[in-house]
Amino acid sequence: MKMIRAGVVMAVAMGAVVCPPHSAHGQEAMMVSAPQVKDDLFAGTEKFAVGASDVSEVNLDKNMLGMAGKGKDGLANKMDFIVVHSYTYDKPGMYKLEDVEAYRKKLTDGSWNCFIHTHDKDESTDICQRTMPDNETHEMVIMTAEPKELTFVHLRGRMSLRDLGEMGSGMGIGAGAGAGAGAGAGTPAVKKHDD
């Protein structure tokens, strides 16, 4: 699951925006700049930063995505927002499972279709989608919980699953239609650093 999660996080970061994570030691820098996106679904996940050795928070609204997009027909221009919050810990037991469960419960209100839902002793993955009332806007959520890592991803826009697959395969994640699209020279890597 770690490879899948890493691939998803890289893909949704669009490969066009470099957003180095804040270290747990630089929390004050995180608090100074408010996120561009108000995400009611994952509001409050910032609490998982307490005790984390590595915190990655990407909050991209339509304006930021437009600046990152390549051409007016690019996937970035179909998106309303991309939110990725990822927390890494030095040892297991540094977050409460019941706190994660509260976010998972939000996906059981009947409006979400969770097509991947795995749970075992040490980790879980939920991948869910829903169509908004206009039947054109879609949302996708990916939640992964491991003993030493949590990741929350929330996407909304007028994109299809094919669009997302092409974005991922363009970055070398899985196989599918559009392999090779979106990657190329000049595509910066997502930088990671630990303190």
Per the structure, the complete domain to which residue 142 belongs is given by 2-15+41-170
**Which of the given ranges, 52-66, 154-168, 180-194, has the highest pLDDT on average?**
52-66
pTM of the model: 0.69
Q: Give tens-digit pLDDT for 144-179.
A: 999 999 999 999 998 776 776 665 554 443 333 333
Quick one: what percent of the chain has pLDDT higher than 70? 59
Residue pLDDT, tens place only, 89-148: 999 999 999 999 999 999 999 999 998 989 888 899 999 999 888 888 889 999 999 999
Domain membership flag for residue 26: no
How many structural domains comprise the chain? 1
Q: How confident is the model at residue 135, as a pLDDT?
A: 84
pLDDT at 58 over 70: yes
User: Residue 27 domain-assigned?
Assistant: no
Rounded to whole angstroms, how far apart are CA atoms 147 and 164? 28
Residues 32-48: what's their mean pLDDT?
Answer: 78
- In a domain, residue 190? The reply is no
- Can you give the pLDDT at residue 62? 83
Position 23 in a domain: no
Tell whether 57 is covered by a domain.
Answer: yes
- 188's torsion region: left (phi>0), alpha (psi -120 to 50) or beta? beta
Asked if residue 7 is part of any domain, the answer here is: yes
Task: Specify if 193 maps to a domain.
Answer: no
Q: Is residue 192 part of a domain?
A: no
**CA 93, 53, 33: angle at the middle one, nearest 5?**
120
